[in-house]
Amino acid sequence: MIGKYLLEAMELIGTVAFAVSGTLVAISHGLDLFGVIIVACTTAVGGGMIRDLLMGVTPPAIFYSHTTLLIAFSVAIIVFAIAYVNIKRFKGLVDRIEHINIVFDAIGLAAFSVAGVEIACNAGFEKDILFSITMGVITGIGGGVLRDVLVNEKPYVLTKHVYAVASILGSSIYYILVSCTHYLVAATFVSVVITITIRLLAAKYRWKLPKIDLSKGD
């Protein structure tokens, strides 16, 4: 029973955090209300939909229960309304929007990474470590990738800071701790804290994986 409530809590936290993140990104790109809602909802449910399709759940679980979509929709409306009514103050926060977005994005990444692994395990894949961790990572980063595509940006996960790596570590730690100890609460807490910490530190100190800059060869 605790596991069920914990999973629901992680999904709720992830949904709200990613909906806020999607809304902020959409607003900063000048999208109208409809565009903001689409981007916010896609960010909040996109990863879970991809995960469900890969697990053979068709149609995805999001279409069986409308609660998640309703939460994401409500968050988008609330954040948009606050920004619309306080447009001058919101403009003053433009330079800080990315930092605010990073915090919510880190929270959503951590919560959904844990939820993705747990859902895969509950679906009968608990002995398949690679698949379970992959489902955690896809749940964590999938919505953000779709968000960036919708606003015509290179997916954040492929270009900036240590993003997917944080999800991989968090998902792996959760899977290992649950498999070895069966303490869901402790495993969730440790995994979430580590994922958020790595994500925020990577953003603060601009940690990046190596890449080849062809422009330097000219």
Domain boundaries along the sequence of the chain: 2-208
Task: Note the pLDDT of residue 218.
Answer: 54
Do 24 and 100 form a contact (C-beta atoms < 8 A)? yes
Q: Which of 14, 66, 67, 70 is nearest to 43 (CA)?
A: 14
CA–CA gap between residue 164 and residue 56 (Å, rounded): 23
Task: Note the pLDDT of residue 114.
Answer: 96
Q: Which residues have C-beta within 8 Å of that of residue 202, sequence separation ≥ 6?
A: 161, 162, 163, 165, 166
Per-residue pLDDT of the chain (218 residues; tens, 9 = 90+): 457 788 899 999 999 999 999 999 999 899 999 999 999 999 999 999 999 999 999 999 888 888 999 999 999 999 999 999 988 777 777 667 778 888 999 999 999 999 999 999 999 999 999 999 999 999 999 999 999 999 999 887 877 667 899 999 999 999 999 999 889 999 999 999 999 999 999 988 888 888 787 777 55
Torsion sign, CA atoms 73, 78, 80, 84: positive
From residue 87, give the alpha-carbon distance in Å to each of 68, 84, 90, 96.
28, 5, 5, 15
The verdict on whether omega for the bond into residue 155 sits within 30 degrees of 0, i.e. cis, is no
Task: Note the pLDDT of residue 1.
Answer: 44
